[in-house]
Amino acid sequence: MPYLDDVLIGFDKMLRVVAGVAHASRQNPAAKVADTQLDKSERRHSAGLMRVNHVGEVCAQALYDSQAQFARSANLKEQFKQAGREEEDHLAWTSERLRELGSRTSLLNPLWYAGSYAIGAIAARMGDAHSLGFVVETERQVEAHLINHLETLPANDSKSRIIVDQMREDEAAHGAHAKELGAADMPAPVRLAMKAMSKVMTGTAYYI
């Protein structure tokens, strides 16, 4: 039963994402960079920002999983699955960096995943063009967050900076690809609602 198989695979994926089990297909871009000495305040700030970034990747996994599940086009289903696999690199890199900083992932990951999965399903039900438009706007906002993190990370935290910069490049590429595939523009109220929800998520995940 293909549908049951998809459900079981999706449930297994959700458990692995929430538990912080991720496998990168690309080497961590900061793997060969020596860590630098950070004071307590700098380490706490870097950890808070990387936890926010990790939560963003948990949400990305949920969004792409649900959009792939409910996409109408077979080609688009595969596109979302491929994007999700690429985003898993970010999940692994941010998780690794949090361990290096002596910190942890968000305690609310199950809620972040569930909420994002529901949002992705709603976007997909609106049709493929709107689903792609949701990706474009999401990636645009994520890229803006990452640029802000590059500006506020401790100047000597080279490892976190390299990871965030690579993530920024990848997110921009995902958004551009979705645009090329025929994304529809999101209405202004939807964009504002997405921005407000993102602000709540980032503000909470920094600490919890």
Q: Is 15 inside a domain boundary?
A: no
Q: Is 33 inside a domain boundary?
A: no
Give the C-alpha distances (Å, rounded to integers) separating 189 from 14, 121, 137, 157, 194. 30, 19, 12, 37, 9
Give the C-alpha distances (Å, rounded to integers) separating 4 from 10, 18, 137, 148. 10, 21, 32, 42
Q: Is 83 inside a domain boundary?
A: yes
Residue type, 115: G
Q: Is 127 inside a domain boundary?
A: yes
**CB-based contact 130:70 (threshold 8 Å):** no
pTM of the model: 0.87
For residue 77, what is the domain's CATH number?
A: 1.20.1260.10
**CB-based contact 28:83 (threshold 8 Å):** no
Q: Is 168 inside a domain boundary?
A: yes
Q: Give the number of domains in the chain.
A: 1
Q: Is 26 inside a domain boundary?
A: no
What tens-digit pLDDT sequence spans the chain (208 residues)? 554 445 555 555 655 666 666 677 889 999 889 888 899 999 999 999 999 999 999 998 888 888 888 888 888 888 888 888 888 899 999 999 999 999 999 989 998 998 889 888 888 888 888 889 888 998 899 999 999 999 999 999 999 999 999 999 999 998 998 888 888 888 888 888 888 888 888 889 989 9
- Give the DSSP letter string of 80-91: HHHHHHHHHHHH
Q: Is 23 inside a domain boundary?
A: no
Give the C-alpha distances (Å, rounded to integers) separating 175 from 138, 152, 180. 8, 24, 9
List pLDDT tens digits, range 10-55: 555 655 666 666 677 889 999 889 888 899 999 999 999 999 999 9
The structure tokens listed for 190 are: 């939807």
Q: How many CB atoms sit inside 10 A of residue 69's CB?
A: 18
> Quick one: pLDDT at residue 14?
59
Q: Is 162 inside a domain boundary?
A: yes
> Quick one: pLDDT at residue 72?
83
Q: How many CB atoms sit inside 10 A of residue 35's CB?
A: 14
- Domain encompassing residue 107: 38-205
Q: Cα(25)–Cα(16) distance, rounded to whole angstroms?
A: 16
Give the C-alpha distances (Å, rounded to integers) separating 113 from 6, 57, 58, 106, 116. 17, 10, 6, 11, 5
Where do runs of H (alpha helix) occur along 101-157? 109-125, 128-152
